[in-house]
Amino acid sequence: MDDSQGGRRRWLVLAVGMFAMTSGCAFQFGLPYLIPALRDEGLSLSRAAMLAACPTVGLVLTLTPWGAAADRWGERWVLASGLGTGGLVLLGATAVRGTVALGACFLLAGAAGASAHASSGRLILGWFPPEERGLAMGLRQTSLPLGVAVAALLLPPLAGHGRGTALAVLGGLSVAAALLVVLAVRDPARAGGGADERAGNPYRTPVLWRLHGAATLLVVPQFTVSVFALVFLVDERGWSPSAAGPVLACVQVAGAGARLAAGRWSDVAGSRVGPMRRLAWTASGVLAVLAAGAFAGSGVAVAALLAAGVVTVSTNGLSFTAVAEYAGPAWAGRALGVHTTVQNAVAACVGPGAGALIGATGFGWAYALAVTFPLVAAAVVPTPHEKSDRLTSRA
């Protein structure tokens, strides 16, 4: 095994990529923890929430262009320039006043930091051999919950010293990550013109579209469960928020472990889509128990809710690995950008949609509807005999 797919460097590259993703996710998805500080500045709840959503909007708008840039110019400088720019914008935002100007800063920071999502996935495709990619991508996918956890731990106490202090720390983390990428990351060796160029646009076949579609369908039950888990435990089961919070934090940790276990399973099985399909079936079964428990007002619903919080996130790394492998080095950045864009766009709609359904009909019907999405996803996932499952693809 040559150095591009062996030795210690690939694990260093993965560690730095995870730190970069975690730093980006801390401000892209962690700004809701600044909402109390923004309200202390006189903003209404709706305006503060709108500001907190601006980085995600910027992220969705630029994921695919960043992926195309990584395909063309390589991962290292795309990753470093995006994160560095996002960090500098956040540092500049410490001196900004006014809702519009602050929203523009958050939008630009999110748009710049989106480079981490496509570039870090491409690094794994290039540096890791097929029998390790599932585990490596599973580790990479833990960066999102880690980033949110960092924000949850740092932002509330930092905001006590002023909103500017919190933004300065977030910006400093991103700039530090960008510098570390420049120092430690090297782009993986690229194969010469040959097979990848002859293969052409991978979107000419339905395989990538099916992978995008299946993974997006699986986002619906994931967010239906996670967004309203605290509300269900408090309103339906009578838990206190202080008791429910630590339990749900443990579910997040278990979910990260499930991503890793699923990735390792796919490495050993030599298949991404086989485990993905089986986990989708499992998710449907758990959600069915949850829906039945919610209708009956049974305590079984609590155990099913916690299990659903773990199993519904377990396929996340598998879909990203399958997309990168099928797209190949020449298209992986763009394909991962599309994959992340579609998932985030749908995830943004799940909360309001599921919330309206719960308000109108109750939790039972919302969970019952969620059962159908993994079942359809299992049918949409490509078969193991299609090219998407060829672990020795074009990497």
Residue 131 or 369, more confident: 369
DSSP for 122-153 reads HHHHHHS-HHHHHHHHHHHHTHHHHHHHHHHH
Q: What is the pLDDT of residues 196-224, one digit of tens each?
A: 444 578 888 889 999 999 999 999 999 88
pLDDT average, residue stretch 159-188:
90
Residue 67 or 173, more confident: 173
Share of the chain above pLDDT 70, in %: 92
The predicted pLDDT at position 393 comes to: 42
pLDDT average, residue stretch 133-139:
85
Q: What is the pLDDT of residues 255-309, one digit of tens each?
A: 888 988 999 999 998 889 999 999 999 999 999 999 999 999 888 999 999 999 9
The predicted pLDDT at position 386 comes to: 58
The predicted pLDDT at position 190 comes to: 62
Radius of gyration over alpha carbons of the chain, in Å?
A: 21
Round the average pLDDT of the chain to a whole number and report it. Answer: 85
Residue 94 sits at φ, ψ, to 5 deg, of: -65, -25
Residue 53 or 6, more confident: 53
* Alpha-carbon separation of residue 171 from 75, 84, 257, 295, 297 (angstroms): 21, 9, 29, 46, 46
> Residue 2: which pLDDT band, with cuts at 50, 70 and 90?
very low
Q: What is the pLDDT of residues 311-346, one digit of tens each?
A: 998 998 899 889 888 888 788 888 888 888 888 888
Q: What is the 3-state secondary structure (H, E, C) of 77-92?
A: HHHHHHHHHHHHHHHH
pLDDT average, residue stretch 229-249:
82
Q: CA 30, 36, 42: angle at the middle one, nearest 5? A: 125
Q: DSSP 3-state helix, strand, coil percentages of the chain (rounded to 5)?
A: 85, 0, 15
Residue 388 or 367, more confident: 367
Tokens of 242: 């202080």
The predicted pLDDT at position 1 comes to: 40
pTM score of the predicted model: 0.76
Share of the chain above pLDDT 90, in %: 33
pLDDT average, residue stretch 244-260:
83
Q: Which residues make Cβ contacts (< 8 Å) with residue 250, sequence separation at least 6?
A: none
Q: What is the pLDDT of residues 171-183, one digit of tens each?
A: 999 999 999 999 9
> Residue 5: which pLDDT band, with cuts at 50, 70 and 90?
very low
> Residue 3: which pLDDT band, with cuts at 50, 70 and 90?
very low
* Alpha-carbon separation of residue 155 from 51, 85, 160, 368 (angstroms): 15, 21, 9, 36
